[in-house]
Structure 1
């Protein structure tokens, strides 16, 4: 079973998390406002007090936060729990400019970086109908497929390097 750490359970992350649980994924959740993660915990997810607790031992780390600054700050808080070889599926829409810095942060911690912003809003997130636009190494695509398949109706692979696609 794939263990997923979902960092960010707001408008988009909540729906995505429900679909990950429905797909049978082992889900750990963290959110700045812990109460926002409560519905996912009630549905079977494990709550984490800190991002480092959520990511420790996870196969795939998903970030779905407000912006690139939030993503960087939360991943820096997660650093004590990160391990070489974990896949970081960065699903927040951050734009092109911050990607090189996020990819460098991933390399610094031995993570495999997959940039995977989604197209859709709250309703598609809740219904597992997001479109995922992903870029990352071919050797980890099978590892993220259960996550992307749970949250989206389609995954479009755009390249092998999440910082350049």
Structure 2
């Protein structure tokens, strides 16, 4: 009888150990799969002072500098994003959102290549009163954005 109890106890310990190992492996695989899926927002000043590593995908946000929007052949577009202190040139191939324009807030997803942000996705604010909190904070820090968001303005973590 004592041998049967020890066998059951040993079996439970094995099951718990296997479950713990499986949990650690699953957590590691999830972290590995998400490493490129997490895109952190950066303002132009952050990109200039601390450039991202080669091939790193991140989000760049700021205002489209006036006079820099150039529409090329087809859907090729170049412009400059600023936070008031620094600027980053942007290249994009695709259709821009309807509300995209100069002196408007934007956030783009992409990577830095030879000093130019190559965007794979461009988002623009969806109405005149909306600006993501993180973009507002970055522009306030650079001294470009003054005032407060209107009380009825849509709030959110991003575009």
More helix by share: 1
What TM-score does the superposition give when structure 1 sets the normalisation length? 0.29
Q: Which has the larger radius of gyration?
A: 2
Q: TM-score, normalised by structure 2?
A: 0.30
**Higher RCO (CA-CA < 8 Å; seq separation 6+):** 1
